[in-house]
Structure 1
């Protein structure tokens, strides 16, 4: 198994395959209504083709960073 096939697909991989930005992929994943239906379909297709699954550890890290920065006095 090569290094490339062992690597998990990322949002950036999905974005490149769908021809959109990583932010657009994020909007689709998070259910935002601010995405054109055709774009949403292309992103969804790319997610399925690449076998993308969200990285739970990365989501938790992002959530932690957001919550720890609220109310910060620095």
Structure 2
């Protein structure tokens, strides 16, 4: 996953996979998700990321699988 923030336009672009998108879906007025041919998310664009509160703090945590 790669997150790029463009300060001049207050836009965040989050890449989930390195596949080619075939469709862009508008989730809201300021959020778009690119989808690949299999229906999986490829990337997400968030406009007005900081001013809308969508990108005020970034945290990442990976939790190990629990094997029973």
**TM class, shorter-length:** under 0.3
Given the two structures, how large is their TM-score scaled by the length of structure 2? 0.26
Given the two structures, how large is their TM-score scaled by the length of structure 1? 0.25
Q: Which has the higher helix share?
A: 1
Q: Which has the higher strand share?
A: 2
